[in-house]
Amino acid sequence: MPRLSLLGRKVPVPANPSLARLETFPNPKPDRPYEIVFTTPEFTSLCPVTGQPDFATITIRYTPNRRCVESKSLKLYLHSFRNIGSFAEAVTNRILDDLVRALAPRHAVVTGEFAARGGVALKICASHGKSR
């Protein structure tokens, strides 16, 4: 896989998502609709107003078309949000937009379940394409 430059190498976390690279590889079963699910319970970003960390579980569900995302590049990409000030709604939609740009999936849903602040938890679901 000559296009995969991060897998198997020690690579620092990018300073922000704009510098991160979502690497992809060919879908091994492009004629079969199947779902890929990634969950990260340790996602963090920063509140753009207070600068305090926002903690979330991010779940990515997608039905690949021709490309699949390589998991190490996805991990580095998600970790790159930890120093970025952005509202939860913007973060969740940005992740979806970047995945759609990299993969052109048949369908994708990104769910951000943000920990409670002031007693209120927040869950955002952003979707692309038609579900099966």
| Confidence at residue 20, expressed as pLDDT on a 0 to 100 scale | 77
**Mean pLDDT computed over 104-114:** 98
In the 3-class helix/strand/coil scheme, how is 3-69 assigned residue by residue? CCCCCCCCCCCCCCHHHCCCCEEECCCCCCCCCEEEEEEEEEEECCCCCCEEEEEEEEEEECCCEEE
Collapsing DSSP to helix, strand or coil, 33 comes out as coil
Question: How far from 36 is each of 41, 59, 82, 87, CA to CA, in Å?
Answer: 17, 10, 24, 26
pTM of the predicted structure, to 2 decimals: 0.88
Give counts: helices (H), strands (E), the chain: 2, 6
| Confidence at residue 92, expressed as pLDDT on a 0 to 100 scale | 98
Q: Which fold has domain 34-129?
A: GTP Cyclohydrolase I, domain 2 (3.30.1130)
CA distance 14 to 33: 32
68 labelled catalytic: no
Q: Which candidate in 47, 68, 97, 125 is catalytic?
A: 47
97 labelled catalytic: no
For the cut 70, the answer to whether the pLDDT of residue 16 exceeds it is: no
In the chain, the percentage of residues whose pLDDT exceeds 90 is 79
Q: List, for residues 35-72, the tens digit of each pLDDT value.
A: 999 999 999 999 999 999 999 999 999 999 999 999 99
Q: List, for residues 63-79, the tens digit of each pLDDT value.
A: 999 999 999 999 999 99
For the cut 60, the answer to whether the pLDDT of residue 132 exceeds it is: no
Q: Which candidate in 54, 68, 97, 125 is catalytic?
A: 54
Bridging pattern class, strands 24-26 and 36-46: unpaired
